[in-house]
C-alpha cells in the first residue's frame, strides 16, 4: 500500500512523507529523525546545521532570477503525537507508521498518522530536493518537541535564522490562513495517598472507550467526550447508590490529546451486585443518550477482575472523585473580538492513580495571558483544596493576530487567484510555534497554512489527498511571490 501512496500526486511530497513515516519520531525522542534530516541535507550538498536543542536548519540558495527576493524561512516540526488504540500492537520508538488509502484519505492502521506535521516537513523536503522549482533563498527550520513542550521553538537562539518571512506549514484546513494562535501552560496535581486492606468480595474494571478524542485545542469546542470526566461521572453515580472501594484510576495519555479511553478498578460486596447492575445500566443509558450525536461509538463496560489486596481509603476516594468533578474541562470562555473563536480552555488530559500515587495532568490554552492565569489559578485552587501538590510548567506565549502584514496580503491574493474564492483568514485555538519564534525574531513576518487534516492527535488522524495537492500548488505559488528585499 505504501507503493500506492508513493505514486500519488504530488509524488515528490508523498515520497518524502513515506520516508519520514518509516522513521520513529515521537516527541522528546527525535534522535533518529534528526539524524535522518541531517543526512538528507548533506546528501543534497546543502549547508546543514544542528543547534544545541537538536533543531535542524538546512539552507538552499535562491534559484536563478530570485536572488533579490527576501529570504524565506520554511518551518515545520519533526516530532509527532504517539497515540494508538488499545487493541493495536505498536512500538512508536522502533516501528515506522503503517499507512493506507481509503476514500481519498491517507490514514494509519490503528495509530496516529504523523501528518501533523509530517506533511509540512515533506513539502519542505520536496522543495529542498528539487532542481526545477523556483524559489527565493530558503532557510528550512525543522524544530523538535513541538507536541509536548514547544522545546525546539523555546530554545531557538537569536541569530540562528536570518530570514525576513516565516511560512509555518502546520495548519489543518486548506482554506485557512492562520495569523494567530493561543498560548498554553501545563498544570499538574500530584500526591501520595493512603491505601488500606481491601475487605470487599468482588471486583470490576470499569472502562470508557470508543470516543473520538482529537486535538485538545482545535477540537475542544466540539463537545466531544473526555474519557476521564465520563469515567468519573460513572463512579460518582455508583457512589450515590452503592458502597464500593476505588482501587485505581487510569485515563488519557498526552496533554494535547482529548482522552479517548479510561479505566478504573473498584471492589464491592456480593450483596451490592444487583444494585451495582441497576445503577451501572442507568448511567450507561444516560451517557449514551447525552452523547448520541458526538460520540456514537461510546462504550461503557464492566468486567470482573481478580480481587486486589489493597484499595484507597474512603476519605481519599471521596476527595479524588470530587476533585476530578471540580476541574474545569473544555471551553472556558470565547473570544470577544473574533466570532466563534475559543479564548480559553482546559483539557483534563491524564489521570494516573495507582498504588498510593496520584498525578493529574492538564493543558490550559488561551489567547489572553490574563485569561490563562485566571483558569490556572482556578485549577490550582482545586488541587490545593484537595491537599494535592500543584505545579505549572511548559508555559509558552500566544501569537497575536495581525492581518495587516505583507505576507498575509500575498497569501490572500494568491489563494483568491488560484482557487477563485476568499480564504478564511483566522486565528486558531492551538499551539503553533509562531508565537514563540516571534519572541526570538520580533521583526519577522509569520503566517501559517496547510492541507486538510482530520483527527489530529488521535488514531483517527487522516490527511486528504486532493487537499494536499491543493496545498502543494498554493505553497509553490507563494514561493514565487515572495517580495523583493
- Residue 266 C-alpha cell reads as 473498584
Helix (H) / strand (E) element for 236: namely: helix 227-241
169 close to 120: Cβ distance less than 8 angstroms: yes
CA–CA gap between residue 241 and residue 236 (Å, rounded): 9
Catalytic hit among 30, 116, 145, 146: 146
Residue ranges with strand state E in 324-415: 330-334, 342-354, 357-366, 389-396
Distance of CA 142 to the CA centre of its chain: 17
Catalytic hit among 30, 79, 176, 460: 79
Q: What burial letters (b/e) apply to 350-383, b meaning 16+ CB within 10 Å?
A: bbbbeeeebebbbbbbbbbeebbeebbebbbebb
Say whether 14 sits in a helix, a strand or coil: helix
253 close to 261: Cβ distance less than 8 angstroms: no
Active site residue 395: no
- Residue 460 C-alpha cell reads as 483517527
Distances (CA, A) of 483 to 67, 72, 422, 438: 11, 10, 21, 20
Say whether 29 sits in a helix, a strand or coil: coil
Active site residue 79: yes
Say whether 2 sits in a helix, a strand or coil: helix
Phi-psi region of 103 (alpha: psi -120 to 50; beta: other; left: phi over 0): left
- List, in order, residues 6 or more apart from 201 with CB less than 8 Å away: 267, 268, 269, 270, 307
208 close to 300: Cβ distance less than 8 angstroms: yes
425 close to 408: Cβ distance less than 8 angstroms: yes
- Residue 481 C-alpha cell reads as 511571490
- Residue 311 C-alpha cell reads as 484499595
CA angle 342, 345, 348 (to 5 degrees): 145
Say whether 387 sits in a helix, a strand or coil: coil
Helix (H) / strand (E) element for 192: namely: strand 183-192
CA–CA gap between residue 424 and residue 173 (Å, rounded): 9
List, by residue number, the catalytic residues: 79, 146
Amino acid at each position: 500500500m505504501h507503493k500506492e501512496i508513493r505514486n500519488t500526486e504530488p509524488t515528490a511530497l508523498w515520497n518524502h512523507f513515506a520516508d519520514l513515516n518509516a522513521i520513529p519520531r515521537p516527541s522528546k525522542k527525535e534522535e533518529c529523525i534528526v539524524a535522518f534530516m541531517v543526512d538528507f541535507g548533506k546528501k543534497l550538498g546543502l549547508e546543514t546545521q544542528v543547534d544545541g536543542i537538536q533543531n535542524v536548519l538546512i539552507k538552499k540558495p535562491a534559484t536563478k532570477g530570485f536572488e533579490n527576493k527576501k529570504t524565506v524561512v520554511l518551518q515545520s516540526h519533526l516530532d509527532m503525537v504517539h497515540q494508538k488504540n488499545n487493541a493495536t500492537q505498536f512500538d512508536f520508538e522502533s516501528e515506522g507508521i503503517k499507512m493506507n488509502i481509503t476514500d481519498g484519505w491517507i490514514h494509519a492502521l490503528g495509530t496516529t498518522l504523523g501528518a501533523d506535521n509530517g506533511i509540512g516537513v515533506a513539502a519542505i523536503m520536496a522543495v529542498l530536493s528539487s532542481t526545477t522549482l523556483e524559489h527565493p533563498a530558503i532557510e528550512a527550520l525543522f524544530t523538535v518537541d513541538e507536541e509536548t513542550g514547544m522545546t525546539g521553538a523555546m530554545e531557538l537562539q537569536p541569530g540562528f535564522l536570518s530570514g525576513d518571512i516565516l511560512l509555518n506549514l502546520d495548519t489543518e484546513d486548506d482554506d485557512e490562513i492562520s495569523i494567530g494562535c493561543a498560548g498554553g501552560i501545563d498544570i499538574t496535581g500530584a500526591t501520595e495517598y493512603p491505601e488500606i486492606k481491601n475487605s470487599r468480595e468482588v471486583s470490576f474494571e470499569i472502562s470508557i472507550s470508543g470516543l473520538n478524542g482529537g486535538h485538545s485545542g482545535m477540537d475542544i469546542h466540539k463537545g466531544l467526550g473526555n474519557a476521564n470526566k465520563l469515567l468519573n461521572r460513572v463512579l460518582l453515580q455508583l457512589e450515590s447508590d452503592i458502597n464500593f472501594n476505588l482501587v485505581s484510576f487510569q485515563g488519557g495519555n498526552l496533554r494535547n490529546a482529548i482522552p479517548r479511553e479510561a479505566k478504573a478498578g473498584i471492589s464491592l460486596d456480593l450483596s451490592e451486585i444487583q444494585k451495582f447492575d441497576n445503577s451501572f445500566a442507568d448511567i450507561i443509558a444516560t451517557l449514551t443518550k447525552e452523547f448520541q450525536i458526538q460520540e456514537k461509538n461510546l462504550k461503557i463496560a464492566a468486567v470482573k477482575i481478580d480481587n486486589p489486596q489493597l484499595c484507597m481509603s474512603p476519605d481519599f476516594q471521596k476527595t479524588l472523585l470530587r476533585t476530578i468533578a471540580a476541574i474545569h474541562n473544555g471551553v472556558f470562555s470565547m473570544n470577544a473580538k473574533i466570532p466563534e473563536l475559543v479564548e480559553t480552555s482546559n483539557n483534563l488530559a491524564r489521570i494516573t492513580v495507582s498504588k498510593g500515587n496520584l498525578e493529574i495532568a492538564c493543558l490550559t490554552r488561551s489567547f489572553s495571558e490574563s485569561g490563562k492565569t485566571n483558569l490556572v489559578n482556578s485549577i490550582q485552587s482545586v488541587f490545593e483544596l484537595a491537599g494535592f501538590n500543584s505545579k505549572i510548567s511548559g508555559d509558552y506565549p500566544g501569537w497575536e493576530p495581525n492581518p495587516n502584514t505583507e505576507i498575509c496580503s500575498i497569501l490572500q491574493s494568491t489563494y483568491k487567484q488560484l482557487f477563485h474564492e476568499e480564504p478564511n483568514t483566522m486565528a486558531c485555538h492551538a499551539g503553533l510555534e509562531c508565537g514563540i519564534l516571534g519572541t526570538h525574531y520580533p521583526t519577522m513576518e509569520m503566517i501559517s497554512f496547510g492541507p486538510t487534516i482530520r483527527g489530529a492527535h488521535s488514531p483517527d488522524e487522516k490527511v486528504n489527498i486532493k487537499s494536499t495537492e491543493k496545498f502543494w500548488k498554493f505553497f509553490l505559488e507563494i514561493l514565487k511571490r515572495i517580495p523583493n528585499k
